[in-house]
Amino acid sequence: MSFAEYVERVAGEVVGAFPADAGIYAVTFRIDSVDQDPRLPYVAIGYTTEADAARSAQQAQQASDGWETRWSYAYFPGTGLEGVRAVGRDPEGAEAHRREAESRGLRYEDDEEPDGRDDLLIEWFHEVCVGAARRLHLSGRIVEALGRPTPVILYDMFEPDAMFELTSAANPAELVADFMREDAAESLAPGSRE
């Protein structure tokens, strides 16, 4: 089984175990790595609910425009930020990643220069996560688990600008129309939250 197939399988299991009647409006994929090492990536799969968004909006007192409290990971609850399960940190996922990274010529040791392999590892992991999210839609797993189509929001803690591109690539356009609003990109621009 390839690393991508492993992530897809576990993502399907995780989403399948989400509470169906909890008002989940987004599945979340937090793309991260152990100690910011691209050789040790993982994705924390979780969700956020309508109640979470309403609570965040009330606490932030942003009733006029709830985009940020609804879609920005800065406002996600623990189930959306930390996720329900981290895939890739587990022994089976870590081993599958290591094996495939080696076979692709992307693996390097601590005493070696990455020579661009670190960027290639990040790009590959983004592709794996986008593919897993797409598979959740194509297989019908999200609808089966949650009763309706629901977007998957992908965000990389170390590359926040990638959030819109990754999320757009992973979802049918109609599911992320509100998320992709033009002013959303501006709300996350550097300095906009000061």
Cα–Cα distance measured from residue 127 to residue 109, given in angstroms and rounded to the nearest whole number: 23
How far from each other are the two terminal CA atoms of the chain, in whole angstroms? Answer: 46
pTM above 0.75, yes or no: yes
pLDDT score for 82? 94
Beta bridge pairs of residue 154: 29
Neighbouring CB atoms inside 10 A of 29's CB total 26
How large is the average pLDDT for residues 93-102? 97
Confidence of residue 183 (pLDDT cuts 50, 70, 90): very low
pLDDT score for 58? 84
